[in-house]
Chain A
């Protein structure tokens, strides 16, 4: 059977029962297939019960799909600098290295959960994953190149060409002050191995706390300049309303700001919705993170939000890094509905409803999961 037929067979069996499994595949990592070409692949919910997402199950977001795999690609740092740098992988790995564990989350993660629906890849929860990234802090590279006075942005140039000259290039910039933050890096490794082609080999940018549209893959150029990058993906795409809007409202461009820092969020991995669990001790497990600050606490409610109990947290707490939360309680036979709500150290609290916006970005409402006990 070709994969597409598999998907349809899956769709048929899934109607009416939320989860189906076929024997013999329990050990293989899987990804949800939003689009086979270009590759837009979702991490299944069940992986959000651990700190590090296996690379094989790590979500993939592509606008145009990968260029050729060329580990000899060079990275040019130029523009408003005193000494342009032209580096290859060997030169980059010869510099002092840094390693950071951070969430990569697509700005559009949760788009399918916004109502009314909007166009784009229909991510539910799978447009996020967490890995350990290794590379060189961008500020070290910029210090070596010597940024000139007046520069305020770094434009990020990549090797993935758009399918036609009429399709805008995926060109982004980040402000210089964000580029100079300690955790922003040019990474060459992910979970201890060289980056794969789908994840940006040989180099990608890592910007913990900011959405994936800044984590450019197949990076070939960092151009230091006075102004932000020009083009569709800066001035039209990846923008949010400056202030909350009514669901479905049209928002004029001048009332939008770039989508950058992702808000506080938690997602429940287990139990899976529709599951049946024996009566007695129950356990809710998931992940929580914020782009604003480290996670302060995660609370779980099993009475529709009337009372909340604080979950235990596992893992180091830092900005843009997820922790695993765990909450145990006893339940008698019957249906159970759990809600999770995360708070960060700057006072951000996950809202009951996410703020609708025209592109469906940054969905972060309480996650509810229902299962049956007994």
Chain B
């Protein structure tokens, strides 16, 4: 994505109880991505199980009660969140402890980013010229178990059919190589990325 963003303006949403000095450090810890000694087990579960479908900011803006978080987690499980039953309590506890009314006001950041440009197709560059048949074999070997035979997602992986990222080869390559949420990264040459793109673009 183009990082022309500069925050120029932030406003706070009113909250009845506002330990305001807490809000930002808490959000920072939640974003850090690295394990700190204070990291509750629920944080890793949230990262692994929630962020395949939406970014962490969706959690960060909520101010919900225990009952509301429990209901939300149950809904997400029905919708396919891969959280194992024995991990649900730790996940819910983390969400309640971090994103309840006690978390203080939520600050919505503004960005001057060109969000339209961030999803616009890019030239394939070094990933051009992939072979869909070779992509099919790679997909079967590395992707199919989670993303499904038809590419429309399964218990572990998300849908890859007809997604904007297929037209942004460098972004696609980054996800394949670095992974995302529960998805591990895979070593893949530029040519292999090109083959995978040729195959997944043809899925309908």
The reply to whether A38 and B108 contact each other, CB–CB distance below 8 Å, is no
A66-B24 Cα distance, complex, nearest whole Å: 31
Task: Indicate which residue in B13, B16, B119, B120 contacts A112 across the interface (CB closer than 8 Å).
Answer: B13
Closest to B166 in A: A68
A30-B55 Cα distance, complex, nearest whole Å: 20
Closest to A248 in B: B65
Tell me how many residues of A have a C-beta within 8 Å of chain B. Answer: 72
User: Does more than half of chain A's interface fall in helix, strand or loop, or is it mixed?
Assistant: loop
A112-B14 Cα distance, complex, nearest whole Å: 9
Give chain A nearest CB distance to B197 CB in angstroms.
12
The reply to whether B58 and A121 contact each other, CB–CB distance below 8 Å, is yes
The reply to whether A119 and B62 contact each other, CB–CB distance below 8 Å, is yes
- Interface residues in A163-179 by Cβ distance below 8 A to B read 163-168
Task: Indicate which residue in B13, B62, B120 contacts A124 across the interface (CB closer than 8 Å).
Answer: B13
The reply to whether B61 and A34 contact each other, CB–CB distance below 8 Å, is yes
The reply to whether A16 and B109 contact each other, CB–CB distance below 8 Å, is no
- Interface residues in A114-137 by Cβ distance below 8 A to B read 115-119, 121-122, 124, 126
Using Cβ atoms and an 8 Å threshold, which residues of chain B touch A163?
Answer: 52-53, 80, 153, 158-159
With A33-B109, A33-B110, A66-B119 as known contacts, state yes or no: A124 contacts B154, CB within 8 Å: no
The reply to whether B112 and A28 contact each other, CB–CB distance below 8 Å, is yes
The reply to whether A42 and B108 contact each other, CB–CB distance below 8 Å, is yes
The reply to whether B13 and A161 contact each other, CB–CB distance below 8 Å, is no
Task: Indicate which residue in A60, A67, A122 contacts B61 across the interface (CB closer than 8 Å).
Answer: A122
With A16-B20, A42-B108, A197-B164 as known contacts, state yes or no: A30 contacts B119, CB within 8 Å: no
A243 in the interface (beta carbon within 8 A): no
Tell me how many residues of B have a C-beta within 8 Å of chain A. Answer: 67
Chain B window 159-187, contacts with chain A (Cβ cutoff 8 Å), 1 for yes, 0 for no: 10111101100000000000000000000
Using Cβ atoms and an 8 Å threshold, which residues of chain A touch B114?
Answer: 56
Using Cβ atoms and an 8 Å threshold, which residues of chain A touch B72?
Answer: 119
The reply to whether B162 and A30 contact each other, CB–CB distance below 8 Å, is no
Interface-side segment among A18-26, A86-94, A255-263, A323-331: A18-26
The reply to whether B163 and A67 contact each other, CB–CB distance below 8 Å, is yes
Give chain A nearest CB distance to B43 CB in angstroms.
16
With A22-B6, A35-B57, A68-B163 as known contacts, state yes or no: A14 contacts B107, CB within 8 Å: yes
Interface-side segment among A4-12, A222-230, A283-291, A341-349: A4-12
Closest to A161 in B: B159
The reply to whether A31 and B159 contact each other, CB–CB distance below 8 Å, is no
- Interface residues in B102-121 by Cβ distance below 8 A to A read 106-116, 119-121
The reply to whether B27 and A11 contact each other, CB–CB distance below 8 Å, is yes
The reply to whether B12 and A14 contact each other, CB–CB distance below 8 Å, is yes
With A2-B3, A3-B111, A122-B106 as known contacts, state yes or no: A30 contacts B8, CB within 8 Å: yes
Give chain B nearest CB distance to A322 CB in angstroms.
21
The reply to whether A33 and B57 contact each other, CB–CB distance below 8 Å, is yes
A166-B79 Cα distance, complex, nearest whole Å: 5
Task: Indicate which residue in B12, B71, B110, B121 contacts A69 across the interface (CB closer than 8 Å).
Answer: B121
The reply to whether A119 and B113 contact each other, CB–CB distance below 8 Å, is no
- Interface residues in B53-110 by Cβ distance below 8 A to A read 53-55, 57-58, 61-65, 68, 71-72, 78-80, 101, 106-110
Closest to A29 in B: B112
Task: Indicate which residue in B24, B120, B154, B167 contacts A165 across the interface (CB closer than 8 Å).
Answer: B154
A14-B11 Cα distance, complex, nearest whole Å: 7
B128 in the interface (beta carbon within 8 A): no
The 4 tightest CB contacts between A and B, nearest first, are A7-B109, A166-B80, A10-B7, A14-B10
List 17 A-B pairs, Cβ < 8 Å: A2-B3, A11-B23, A11-B107, A14-B11, A14-B107, A19-B9, A21-B9, A28-B6, A31-B111, A31-B115, A66-B119, A68-B163, A68-B167, A126-B108, A167-B53, A167-B79, A196-B116
Q: A15-B23, A34-B61, A68-B201 are in contact. List 15 more A-B contacts (CB 8 A).
A: A3-B1, A6-B7, A8-B27, A8-B31, A13-B10, A28-B6, A30-B110, A33-B57, A35-B58, A56-B116, A119-B71, A124-B13, A161-B161, A161-B162, A164-B155
